[in-house]
Amino acid sequence: MLTMARSRRDFTPECKDEAVKLVITTGRAVATVARELGVNEATLGRWVSAFMARNETGQTEVTESKRAELLRLRKENADLKMDRAFLKKASIFFAQEASDTSVLRSN
């Protein structure tokens, strides 16, 4: 007897979040939404349960897009800190130079 093995599908965190939002925001049954999306009912039920548990504890999963944005913002913040430090040193240098030239003019 030949049987065909079903391949396991992987879902992105964003896809899971959207499916969970459909269940929560519309108030429809997990079984109904699962059927519409072509996802196993038990799988969607686990996603919803995990979402509810995360929200009860205040933990939220960081998506790849948010992680990428966080890395970009951290790099930008580091660059701005370097720019600020440079400008601070430059302003001190020019302030000292201006005071030195004003002393020379008064003599």
pTM over 0.85: no
Neighbouring residues of 11: CB distance < 8 A, sequence distance ≥ 6: 19, 39
Helix axes 13-26, 30-37, angle to 10 degrees: 140
Q: What angle do CA 64, 65, 69 make, to 5 degrees?
A: 115
Beta-carbon count within 10 A of 30 CB: 21
pLDDT in tens, 26-36: 888 999 999 99
Domain locations in the chain?
A: 11-61, 73-107
For domain 11-61, the CATH class is: mainly alpha
Q: Which two tokens stand for residue 37?
A: 């999306």
SS (H, E, C) 65-77: HHHHHHHHHHHHH
Is residue 11 within 8 Å of residue 64, measured between CB atoms? no
pLDDT in tens, 44-74: 999 999 888 887 766 556 677 888 898 999 9
